[in-house]
């Protein structure tokens, strides 16, 4: 395990909210090497002591329980104020840390990846076996992603590049693999003959406050669908890998992403909805709408199709939005009805299909809805009613922050939960087809009130999430 972490963007929101707390927990639990050190790099002028004082004021997780570990981490941290566009300055300041293998973590906008890589390369900090970690987004379209990937490969090989999608570090997301490949019951029916549709929903109550400039350039399609949601889709739809090593898993995910049917202008009006939240009420609090001169969406609903043998004709409905009524990430698999209905009550057209709901956050739960007669009186035993097999975890076990798992894997060199270059490019290829379809078809950005489930035209994309009264469906 490498014992040096160079953290670029150390004064950013991600670092203070997640990265430094994650390192504190890992240090407290003795999961880091004895000589572990952090080299923090940011634009704000601080000396080492000033940065430590600044960080103490901002890391909320430095409570009494973790106080000693946090102070230990601060003592191991050096700070450098650098212009991240100046490769020569980066090289001059950081070359002193090339005395042992390191992990460089770029928690920066993508336009800084290239100069940071050049500076690290000049400083000798990307030589084998040193590694490089990058935060999303990897570009804003296929062309820019390819350009970034080419820049990275000019400095080090793919086996030492770690592209983070923090969703992959979440324990409930990893559980999707366990459910898929650890249970005969599911794997036997995990295909188009038995599955009617798959829904992937990522709903957020938060808005774009403080990220208006970023969101104006990316929107929900590029910010959420391109990485988080397509990674979830790939995990759900992938073929069984030969093993759970990094390349076997990522090979199968890439095949799924490459099999996504490109969206066309003719289908954009049927298979997609764009929205932007206006004024409204979220969780009892009035909020202002997102206004910007650019036509950018904060809500997107898509119907995707995977053109391969396993998933032929099965719609994957992807829905994500800001300022939704509640925060939730879940996957809902709806199965096809039985081939011949024998019962008088309910009639076949009123029978509810079997459904598997996997709730990933905020609480973890697995719910399987079946039809049965257990709740009926003796003289009405053939009257079927929905029965729910609820495997909710109560209380929800304490989970590590996703970044804790990913940091350990990067320091160890395990790429299984990181995204490979060809995955990124395959995802962007499909996202570009959606963007081009929208541009050609003139797909509008529809308004929706904050606290609702998006534009009214998106109701057909949410059959398993909302009911007629706008509440979460059964």
Per-residue pLDDT reduced to its tens digit, 138-148: 999 999 999 99
Mean pLDDT of the 313-337 span = 95
User: What pLDDT is recorded for position 397?
Assistant: 56
The model's confidence at residue 64, banded by pLDDT at 50, 70 and 90, is very low
Percent of the chain residues topping a pLDDT of 90: 70
Mean pLDDT of the 83-89 span = 94
The residue ranking higher by pLDDT, 61 or 155, is 155
The model's confidence at residue 471, banded by pLDDT at 50, 70 and 90, is very low
Domains of the chain, with CATH numbers? 4-165 (3.40.50.720), 170-461 (3.30.360.10)
Distance CA 219, CA 408 (A): 31
Statement: residue 461 has pLDDT above 50: yes
Question: What pLDDT digit, counting tens, does each position of 270-293 carry?
Answer: 999 999 999 999 999 999 999 888
Task: Return the structure tokens found at 213.
Answer: 């400039």
Distance CA 221, CA 273 (A): 11
Mean pLDDT of the 210-229 span = 89
Statement: residue 37 has pLDDT above 60: yes
Using DSSP bridges, classify how beta strands 355-361 and 280-282 pair: parallel, antiparallel or unpaired: unpaired
The model's confidence at residue 367, banded by pLDDT at 50, 70 and 90, is confident
Mean pLDDT of the 383-401 span = 69
The model's confidence at residue 338, banded by pLDDT at 50, 70 and 90, is confident
Q: Does the active-site annotation cover 228? A: yes
Question: Residues 80, 228, 292, 340: which is the catalytic one?
Answer: 228
User: What pLDDT is recorded for position 335?
Assistant: 94
Question: What pLDDT digit, counting tens, does each position of 146-183 carry?
Answer: 999 999 999 999 999 999 998 898 888 888 888 889 98
Mean pLDDT of the 401-422 span = 94
The model's confidence at residue 468, banded by pLDDT at 50, 70 and 90, is very low
């Amino acid at each position: 395990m490498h014992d040096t972490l160079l953290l670029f963007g150390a004064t950013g929101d991600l670092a203070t909210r997640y990265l430094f707390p994650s390192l504190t927990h890992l240090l407290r639990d003795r999961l880091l090497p004895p000589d572990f050190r952090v080299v923090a790099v940011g634009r704000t002028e601080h000396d080492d002591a000033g940065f430590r004082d600044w960080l103490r004021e901002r890391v909320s997780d430095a409570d009494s329980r973790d106080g000693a570990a946090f102070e230990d981490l601060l003592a191991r941290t050096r700070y450098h104020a650098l212009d991240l566009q100046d490769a020569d300055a980066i090289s001059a300041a950081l070359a002193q840390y090339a005395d042992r293998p390191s992990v460089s973590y770029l928690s920066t906008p993508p336009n800084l990846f290239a100069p940071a890589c050049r500076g690290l390369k000049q400083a000798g900090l990307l030589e084998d076996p040193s590694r490089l970690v990058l935060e999303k987004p990897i570009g804003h379209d296929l062309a820019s992603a390819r350009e970034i990937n080419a820049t990275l490969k000019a400095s080090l090989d793919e086996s030492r590049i770690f592209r983070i999608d923090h969703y992959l570090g979440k324990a409930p997301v990893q559980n999707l693999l366990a459910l898929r490949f650890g249970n005969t019951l599911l794997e036997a029916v995990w295909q188009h003959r038995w599955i009617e549709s798959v829904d992937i929903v990522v709903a957020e109550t938060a808005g774009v406050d403080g990220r208006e400039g970023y969101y104006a350039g990316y929107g929900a399609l590029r910010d959420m669908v391109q990485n988080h949601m397509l990674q979830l889709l790939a995990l759900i739809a992938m073929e069984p890998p030969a093993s759970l090593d990094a390349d076997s898993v990522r090979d199968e995910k890439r095949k799924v992403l490459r099999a996504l049917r490109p969206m066309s202008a003719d289908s954009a009006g049927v298979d997609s909805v764009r929205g932007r939240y206006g004024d409204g009420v979220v969780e009892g609090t009035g909020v202002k709408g997102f206004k910007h001169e650019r036509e950018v969406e904060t809500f997107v609903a898509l119907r995707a199709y995977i053109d391969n043998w396993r998933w032929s004709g099965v719609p994957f409905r992807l829905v994500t939005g800001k300022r939704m009524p509640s925060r939730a990430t879940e996957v809902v698999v709806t199965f096809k009805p039985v081939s011949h209905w024998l019962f008088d009550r309910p009639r076949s057209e009123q029978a509810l299909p079997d459904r598997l709901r996997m709730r990933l956050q905020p609480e973890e739960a697995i719910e399987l809805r079946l039809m049965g007669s257990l709740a009926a009186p003796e003289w009405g035993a053939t009257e079927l009613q929905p029965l729910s097999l609820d495997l909710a975890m109560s209380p929800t076990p304490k989970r590590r922050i996703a970044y804790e798992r990913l940091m350990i894997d990067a320091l160890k060199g395990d790429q299984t939960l990181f995204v490979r270059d060809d995955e990124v490019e395959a995802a962007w290829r499909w996202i570009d087809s959606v963007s081009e379809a929208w541009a050609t078809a003139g797909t509008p950005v529809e308004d929706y009130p904050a606290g609702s489930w998006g534009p009214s035209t998106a109701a057909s994309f949410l059959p398993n999430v909302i009911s007629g009264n706008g509440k979460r469906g059964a």
